[in-house]
Amino acid sequence: MAPSPNHYQTLEISHSASAVEIKQAFRRLARQYHPDLNPQDAEAVEVFRSIRAAYDVLSDPIQRQYYDEEQGFRPTSTGGQSPSVSSTAPSDSSHSSYLKGIDHEAARNYKAALEAYNQAIERKPDFSSAYLHRAKVRYALAQDRAVLEDCTHLIELQAHLATAYFYQGLARYRLGYGQSALEAFNQAIAQEADHGRAYYQRAIAHLELGDQDDAIADLHRAMECFQAQGDGQYYRRVADKLHDLGIRFTSPIPQQSASPSSTTPKTLHRPNVQWIVPAALGELPGILFNPSANLLPFYGKLGPGRASFIGILWLALSYALGIVAAILRWSADSQQVVWPVAIVVTLAIASFIAGIGLLRMLKGYWEGISQVLFVAGAALLPLGLLCLVMSPRSPDLWPLQLSLITIALSLSILILHSGLIQICNLPESMASFSVPILLLTSGWLAYWTFQTLMPPPLELLDAPSLISHPAFGS
C-alpha cells in the first residue's frame, strides 16, 4: 500500500516553497477541485479537503515549522532524524501554548484559545503569529478594542501583513469608525491586491458612508477575486449583496473555465428616487412579520442616504396615524385634543430616537444617523397602526383591541431587537436589555405628558374595565 502523500505533495510544491508559492498552489488546486465546481464528484470533495488541510498547516509559519520537524524535512542536530514536537517544544513553551490555541480555535472554543494565545505572547512578546490569531479570536468574541491593540502590535512587527490591516478594518467598522475602517481596508488591499474579503468589507464600509457607486465597484472586484480563487461561498455572498442593491448579473455561480472578467456582473437595474416610496411600503409586510430576516437586507439595498429617507417617512407615517387616531377617538373634542396629542407624539418619537442614538454612543458609534432613523421608524410603525386600531370606543371591541395591542407590541419588540443588533451593531445582551427600557420610557413619557396636558375625563386609552365586561361577568 502506497504511503499517504504529505502536505507538500498534496499541494504539488517542494519543501522549500515560499509563502507566495504555497498560496498560488492552493488557489490553483482549489479552482480545480472546489466542491462548487464539482457538485457530483465525491472524490473531488475529498481532494479539496486534503488541499485545505495542507494549506492550513503550511501557510502558518509556526505550524509549518513543527510539521517539517515531525516529518524530518529539515536537517537537525540529531543527524537528520525527526525530532518530536515534545522534544523541541516543552509543555510550558510559547510554541506549545500557541499550538494549543490553534486547536481550541479550530474547535471554536474561543475563550480557551484566547487564554492559550495570551500565554504564548506573555512568554514571547514578539510572537507575531500568536498576535494574529489572538486578534481573530478577540474579533469572534466581539472584543473590538482589544483587536485594535493586537493589530497595532502586528503592524509594528510586520508592516506589510495584509491580514493585520484587514482585522483592524473589521474592528474599526464594528466600533462605528467608518472612514478609518476604509483606510485600513485600503492598506490591506495595498499589501495584497487580490484580497477578496478586503474588497467586500470595503464595499460594506462604502455603503455605510453613502458611497454606493464605490461599493458596487468593490463588490465587482471582490467577485473577480473569489472567482479566481474558486471561493464559491464568498462569491455567493457578494452576489446576494449585489442583488440587494438592485444589481442583476448573468453568472451567479463561478465556472472553472470562465475568466474573471467574463463573470463581472452586468448592471441592469439601479434603484432611483422614484423607487424609494413604493419600496418603503412594499417591504413593510416582510419587515413586520419577519424582521430578523428582512430588515437588514432592505437596509443594505437602500444604502445609508435612502435608509434615512425611509426612516423619516415611516416616522412621519407613525406620527400621522397617532394624530388621526386621536381625532377619531375624541371627535367631539378634536380641536381640544389635536395639539396636546401632537406634542405627546412628537415627544415620544424624539425620546425614542434619542434613546437609540444614546445606546450607539455608549458603544462608541458616533456616526450613522441613518441607522437610528431607520430602526426607529420601523419599530414605531406598528405602534402607529395600533393607535389607529384603538381609536373606536366600544366595549364590544375591547377584547379584539386587547389582542391587537399584544400583536403590535410584539412586532415592535421584534423589529427593535433585530434592528439594534443587525443594523445598529449593538451586542445581543445589550439589545435585549435596552428594548423594554426604550419602549417603557417613551410610553410612560407619552402617558404622563398627555395626562398633564389634558384634564379628565379624557384618558389615553379610555378602555372599559375588564372586570365589568360581559365576558367576565358583572
State which residues form the domain around 439: 274-472
- Residue that has been written with the C-alpha cell 451567479 in this structure: 252
Lowest mean pLDDT among 45-59, 81-95, 234-248, 407-421: 81-95
Q: Are residues 104 and 188 in the same domain?
A: yes
Domain annotation covers residue 359? yes
User: Is a pLDDT exceeding 90 seen at residue 20?
Assistant: no
- Residue that has been written with the C-alpha cell 460594506 in this structure: 204
Instruction: Say what the pLDDT of residue 5 is.
Output: 57
Q: Are residues 161 and 224 in the same domain?
A: yes
Q: Contact, 178 vs 190, CB < 8 A? A: no
User: Is a pLDDT exceeding 80 seen at residue 403?
Assistant: yes
Q: Are residues 200 and 303 in the same domain?
A: no
Q: Stretch 13-37: mean pLDDT, rounded?
A: 81
Q: What percent of the chain has pLDDT over 70?
A: 75
Domain count, the chain: 2
Q: Which long-range contacts (CB under 8 A, 24 or more apart) does 337-345 make?
A: 337/454, 337/458, 340/450, 340/453, 340/454, 341/450, 343/449, 343/453, 344/446, 344/449, 344/450, 344/453, 345/318, 345/319, 345/446
Question: Cα(first)–Cα(last) distance of the chain, in Å?
Answer: 90
pLDDT tens-digit series, residues 324-370? 887 777 665 556 667 777 888 888 889 989 999 898 888 776 666 88
Q: Are residues 190 and 323 in the same domain?
A: no
Instruction: Say what the pLDDT of residue 135 is.
Output: 93
Q: Are residues 211 and 278 in the same domain?
A: no
pLDDT tens-digit series, residues 152-183? 988 888 888 888 999 999 999 988 888 889 88
Instruction: Say what the pLDDT of residue 223 is.
Output: 84
User: Is a pLDDT exceeding 60 seen at residue 30?
Assistant: yes
Q: Stretch 62-83: mean pLDDT, rounded?
A: 59
- Residue that has been written with the C-alpha cell 485594535 in this structure: 148
Domain annotation covers residue 413? yes
The last residue of one of the domains, among 263, 294, 317, is 263
CA distances from 348 to 254, 322, 352, 409, 436 (A): 50, 11, 6, 15, 15
Q: Stretch 301-325: mean pLDDT, rounded?
A: 81
Rounded to whole angstroms, how far apart are CA atoms 82 and 291?
58
CA torsion through residues 85, 89, 95, 98, sign: positive
Instruction: Say what the pLDDT of residue 129 is.
Output: 85
Domain annotation covers residue 269? no
CA distances from 20 to 23, 37, 134, 140 (A): 5, 24, 23, 27
Lowest mean pLDDT among 214-218, 270-274, 452-456: 270-274
Confidence of residue 87 (pLDDT cuts 50, 70, 90): very low
The last residue of one of the domains, among 263, 296, 321, is 263
Rounded to whole angstroms, how far apart are CA atoms 470 and 275?
50
User: Is a pLDDT exceeding 90 seen at residue 314?
Assistant: no
Domain annotation covers residue 1? no
* 66: number of Cβ within 10 Å: 20
The CATH number of the domain holding residue 27 is: 1.25.40.10
CA torsion through residues 447, 453, 456, 458, sign: negative
Domain annotation covers residue 2? no
For 314-348, b where at least 16 C-beta lie within 10 A, e where not — what string? bbebbbebbbbbbeebbeeeeeebeebbeebbeeb
Instruction: Say what the pLDDT of residue 167 is.
Output: 94
Q: Are residues 280 and 258 in the same domain?
A: no
pTM over 0.85: no
User: Is a pLDDT exceeding 70 seen at residue 463?
Assistant: no
Lowest mean pLDDT among 42-56, 110-124, 169-183, 331-345: 331-345
Q: Are residues 257 and 181 in the same domain?
A: yes
Q: Which long-range contacts (CB under 8 A, 24 or more apart) does 182-185 make?
A: 182/206, 182/209
Domain annotation covers residue 422? yes
How high does pLDDT run on average in the chain? 76
Q: Are residues 290 and 239 in the same domain?
A: no
Q: Stretch 133-152: mean pLDDT, rounded?
A: 91
DSSP state of 261: G
Q: Between these two residues, 292 and 115, which has the higher pLDDT value?
A: 115
Domain annotation covers residue 226? yes
Confidence of residue 473 (pLDDT cuts 50, 70, 90): very low
Q: Are residues 353 and 420 in the same domain?
A: yes
Q: Are residues 147 and 290 in the same domain?
A: no
Lowest mean pLDDT among 253-267, 344-358, 369-383, 410-424: 253-267
User: Is a pLDDT exceeding 80 seen at residue 254?
Assistant: no
Instruction: Say what the pLDDT of residue 171 is.
Output: 92
The last residue of one of the domains, among 206, 236, 263, is 263
Q: Are residues 206 and 321 in the same domain?
A: no
Domain annotation covers residue 285? yes
Q: Are residues 195 and 282 in the same domain?
A: no
